[in-house]
Structure 1
Amino acid sequence: MISTSERNLYESQSITKPPYFNGDNYPYWKNHMRLFIKSNDYQMTDEDRRILQNHGKAMHMLFCVLGPDEFAKMSSCTSAKEIWDKLETTYESTNDVKETKIGLLNLSYENLKMETNEDITKMFDQFSVIVNGLKGFREVTAEEKLVRKLIYSLPES
């Protein structure tokens, strides 16, 4: 069970204030503090400073929104792009996996039929999960086609 003080440490943080350290989870705080420092002023050209600050700010923003489990997976990353790519691969998967998931969702969509012992709410919930899953992969189906599919999935009775 996470205490209130620990929960506060893991909640989203300000990108303009240094991260508060309450004595718990030093590695988590240390990485946030390092990024906060990097995202602030250095003595260099304006362009160098802008690039470095943007990079540091992007990393800081990404780490601020990660919980402790996700943070542990990403804490070895050294750039915002590396964090982003690792998150994308971890939670969205590779193109082959995406295509497989899309194929499975399409198969579920095509095979959707309301069972005799199933109520309309349960069937519609299942339909919504499939359609929203496809939308998540940018596979959008016209509203008219969705309505037809839903109607054809109902039993004749």
Structure 2
Amino acid sequence: MMPRPVGSVPIFNGEDYAYWKARMQAYLQSLDPEIWSVTHESNANVNLLEPDYIKCNAKAKNALFACISKDVFAQLDASTTTHGIRTEIQGLYEATSDVKEERYYMLKNKYDHFTRLPHERANTVYSRFHVLVEEINALRDDFKMKPVEVEDS
């Protein structure tokens, strides 16, 4: 990922798709819920010639293209709808359910055996732990599993 100003979506270069996907969703929703809608929902029951749809699709497509690298862009069919573009990106970069499940159990094992490293500061321990919990919770959504919660002691 290439760094961008605070509040903007990082440019997706083919790495860390899950992070970029979450950031892109929040960004498109913040622009306008309709912009997210044309990106997220199937266009099967939509009049593609309706002016409101054309306007939202153009804004969403511009936002998507502004947040991907030339290499990622070269793999896409730029003439499709933003829903089609998002689906293409997802198909190219999102892991299969088997890979996700394997990663989930690997991360869960790290969680179960998490320990503080020698001479590690408390804020570093917390940061590592927080990243681990967030990664697990992002994956568990795909499997309808119970979220990992930090117990108060």
Structure 1 length as normaliser, TM-score?
Answer: 0.49
Bigger-Rg structure (1/2): 1
Structure 2 length as normaliser, TM-score?
Answer: 0.50
